[in-house]
Amino acid sequence: MKIITAIVRPFKLDELRNAIAQLGVQGVTVTEVHEIEFGPRHKVEIAVDAAVAEPVVEAIANVARTTRPGDGLILVGHLEQAIRIRTGEIGTAAT
- Indicate the CATH number of 2-94 among 3.20.20.70, 3.30.70.120, 3.90.1150.10, 3.50.50.60: 3.30.70.120
Which backbone phi and psi does 87 adopt, to 5 degrees?
-105, -15
Nearest to 30 by CA among 47, 15, 44: 44
> Sign of the C-alpha dihedral, residues 54, 21, 2, 67?
positive
Q: What's the CA gap between 21 and 48, in Å, rounded?
A: 12
Q: What is the pTM of this model?
A: 0.91
Q: Is 46 helix (H, G, I), strand (E, B) or coil?
A: strand
Looking at the DSSP assignment, which residues form a beta bridge with residue 44?
6, 30
- Domain residue spans in the chain? 2-94
For 15-72, the pLDDT digits (tens) are 999 999 999 998 899 999 999 999 999 999 999 999 999 999 999 999 999 999 999 9
